[in-house]
A and B are shown apart, each in its own frame.
Chain A
């Protein structure tokens, strides 16, 4: 994961996202659905998304300072943002990720 990050620094503007979920919890599933829908509607492939289950990687939770679940971290472009919750508030998500609405 870390290696990939350093490579990606070169490609600017591209959204680099990590979604930290806790197993198959309803909130986690909802967040996954929401980010997938959003990215299909507004991003059209110009992004990288990694989904990490903190149950399987508890050490990563500490490294990445994750306490809220689900947490979507926008690593790039800077500034870094942490979106906590199910990502149900589309307006907030879009604004925090800096996405322009397609056709709106």
Chain B
């Protein structure tokens, strides 16, 4: 709650990792929040996490009123996320009330109200001193009922009741055809509305979240991807709102003295990002591996995303040029993560990267090649993702290196993958192969290096079993 500024709305942490950054502090304290989305988008889980984290992390007891699932079903469904509802119930921190309505038994015989619901809710809140309440999904009440106007006015009264009780309430609602919720709950809950979405694009499923409305508070307006895994829901606020990261001035070695010598400061700035472009077989992976090795030599952890080679294959291939990465792996400093780019959506890769970054705290991140990711998304999506990725790496002052496969030896600028990354990268090295008199000549060119001078000519090099070396008779 340190983020709450003067004069701004008091807020309560949502318990959903990443969401509080988007909403600058969490949910509006003591007010209802509407979470809406279509079936299976994670509403119940979202609500449950708000409640459980409220108890375990902020010591705020909570009441879960379920209009759909029974208490035992709920318990089973969230057990896989490590939420032990029975334990919390026995500690008197959590109450689950299953509102079970048998439609076939009900006859409407005149005017009625929802006082029974109010009393149950009030009783449960008072019994454990609840600060948080979930109503999941209150719209179930409307199913099969004739007199909807009574229900509407009662729901309105219910939200007032919740405000009077001073509890922060999460109300879930099923997405309607023309409105956010079937019964137009968004008209009653005017303070904070969050929309969850579950989409399949090109056979890849992505969950997204958007803050539709947040009265009296600034919030990020983008769609943010979120994942549900064994630790619950996490939202990654991938675009930080400002460009205010620090720029370190110390210089690190690339890991190859030859390469370092091309830069006036004899290396690269710490926390800068480097792009290596080239056609197939121009030794991009080799250059990336040297960069990984340099991090190991500095005794700094490095995370290597390999989208084309398995860790074992990478190690073997680097062995063949005398670059032994195994000690780095054994020391736990080099973590190679290999996966197929098409296995998950772009955002999922990004989330995974975030997760691994927060677990391993690497000082260097290598993505080899980033062009594999680019091929699985539309270009605007990819660019957005790369901006967010660069942002994250910059904010954490992580040295980044991306390789990118290009198809045109001469005009790399026209390559869409390069176009997406090159303007974001601080340093850009292009490697190429040329057929000259029947032999293949390898060369590299530093295209740019932000904030320092660099050698402008082409440098020829060779790769042997002793590794990378500039040719003596360089032009």
Contact = CB atoms under 8 A, between A and B. Distances in A.
Interface of A: 20, 22, 25, 27, 30-31, 34, 54-55, 58-59, 61-62, 65-72, 79-89, 92-93, 96
Contacts, number: 99
Contact of B105 (A62, A67, A80): A80
Interface residues of B, number: 24
B110 A62 contact: no
A65 B321 CA distance: 74
Contacts of B115: 22, 25, 54, 68-69
Contacts of A88: 109-111
A80 to B, nearest CB: 6
Contact of A61 (B105, B107, B116): B116
Given A84-B106, A88-B110, 14 more contacts: A22-B119, A25-B113, A54-B119, A67-B120, A80-B105, A81-B107, A82-B105, A84-B107, A85-B108, A85-B112, A86-B109, A86-B111, A92-B109, A96-B109
A1 B107 CA distance: 24
A83 B122 contact: no
A27 B99 contact: no
A58 B111 contact: no
B114 A69 contact: yes
A84 B120 contact: no
B123 A62 contact: yes
Binding site of A, secondary structure by majority: helix, strand, loop or mixed?
mixed
Nearest to A69: B115
Given A62-B97, A62-B123, A82-B102, A67 B117 contact: yes
A54 B108 CA distance: 19
Nearest to A22: B115
A100 to B, nearest CB: 18
- From B97, B105, B112, name the one whose CB has the most chain A CB atoms within 10 angstroms: B112
Nearest to A79: B105
A52 to B, nearest CB: 11
Given A62-B123, A67-B99, A67-B101, A54 B107 contact: no
Contacts of B102: 82
B111 A65 contact: no
B100 interface: yes
B108 A22 contact: no
Given A65-B99, A67-B101, A27 B113 contact: yes
A88 B109 CA distance: 6
Contact of B116 (A69, A79, A96): A69
A70 B102 CA distance: 16
Contacts of A27: 110-113
A84 B123 contact: no
B112 A61 contact: no
A79 B113 CA distance: 24
6 contacts: A22-B116, A34-B110, A82-B102, A88-B109, A93-B109, A96-B107
Nearest to A93: B109
A69 B115 CA distance: 6
A31 B112 CA distance: 10
Q: List 6 tightest A-B contacts by C-beta distance, closest first.
A: A86-B110, A85-B110, A88-B110, A69-B115, A58-B123, A22-B115
B346 to A, nearest CB: 45
A58 B120 contact: yes
A27 to B, nearest CB: 6
A68 to B, nearest CB: 5
Contact of B109 (A20, A22, A25, A83): A83
Interface string B101-144: 11001111111111111011011100000000000000001000
